[in-house]
Chain A
Amino acid sequence: GAVVSQHPSRVICKSGTSVKIECRSLDFQATTMFWYRQFPKQSLMLMATSNEGSKATYEQGVEKDKFLINHASLTLSTLTVTSAHPEDSSFYICSAWNTRGGYEQYFGPGTRLTVT
């Protein structure tokens, strides 16, 4: 149990275009999902907290108008990178926190975004 999927696993897009990444909890409900960004040889940095039915909470320095987050259901959160630039190229990972509580977060497999 506690499986989180992400789609796509890899995406290459041209500078100026937008890319949508989906994060799904497959066998549990998640009122809260998290979006992280990981640059090569660095740690996971929290970008935003996504709450079902409400606006996302963004970490300091993360542009909310550039990284649009939608959490329309208890099993799906989406991250849209708008007007992507090469510096947005990174590994994006989501995680989900089980509504039934507990401490563990369950991570998706990640999405490798390359902006050319």
Chain B
Amino acid sequence: GENVEQHPSTLSVQEGDSAVIKCTYSDSASNYFPWYKQELGKRPQLIIDIRSNVGEKKDQRIAVTLNKTAKHFSLHITETQPEDSAVYFCAASIGNMLTFGGGTRLMVKP
């Protein structure tokens, strides 16, 4: 089955700096790659996603890049704000089956 690795597990940045989270996946059949933000005790919230036929997607301060050949994708958050502090999960999907990465705890220091 699919295996998704996510790094780093924790990330601390200063407010205004950029944050980058990286994921790799194992199954080349994966074709959909969502990123979720989860606050404590809450549901995962989709923040951006990318399909396998696209290399990059941007939504305001958030961007995702995908390298299908290398089987890795990354989340980029620019101009970080304290409210960006949360746990972020990447995932890879084959059909409608999601496999999650281990998560990254992002802390943005004011």
Q: Are A and B bound to each other?
A: yes
Per-residue 0/1 for B73-110: is the Cβ within 8 Å of any A Cβ (1 yes, 0 no)? 00000000000000001000100111111110000000
Q: How many A-B residue pairs have CB under 8 A?
A: 42
| CB within 8 Å for A32 and B96 given contacts A43-B101, A43-B102 | yes
A8 an interface residue at 8 Å Cβ cutoff?
Answer: no
Q: In the bound complex, how far is the Cα of B75 from the Cα of A35, in angstroms?
A: 26
Main secondary structure of the interface of B (DSSP, over half): strand
| CB within 8 Å for A107 and B100 given contacts A43-B89, A44-B89 | no
> Closest Cβ of chain A: how far from B46's Cβ, in Å?
6
B43 touches A105 (CB 8 A): no
| CB within 8 Å for A34 and B98 given contacts A109-B43, A110-B41 | yes
Interface residues of B in 40-71 (CB under 8 A from A): 41-44, 46, 49, 51
Question: How many residues in B have their beta carbons less than 8 Å from beta carbons of A?
Answer: 19
B43 touches A42 (CB 8 A): no
Q: What are 30 A-to-B residue pairs whose CB atoms are below 8 Å?
A: A32-B96, A34-B98, A42-B103, A43-B100, A43-B101, A43-B103, A44-B44, A45-B100, A46-B97, A46-B98, A46-B99, A49-B97, A91-B41, A93-B43, A93-B44, A95-B98, A97-B96, A103-B32, A103-B49, A103-B51, A103-B93, A104-B34, A104-B49, A105-B96, A107-B43, A107-B44, A108-B43, A110-B41, A110-B42, A112-B41
Q: Which residues of B approach A to under 8 Å, CB–CB? A: 32, 34, 41-44, 46, 49, 51, 89, 93, 96-103
Additional pairs, 11, CB under 8 Å, beyond known A46-B98, A105-B98: A32-B96, A42-B102, A43-B102, A44-B44, A93-B43, A97-B96, A103-B34, A103-B49, A103-B96, A104-B46, A104-B49
Q: Which residues of A approach B to under 8 Å, CB–CB? A: 32, 34, 42-46, 49, 91, 93, 95, 97, 103-105, 107-110, 112
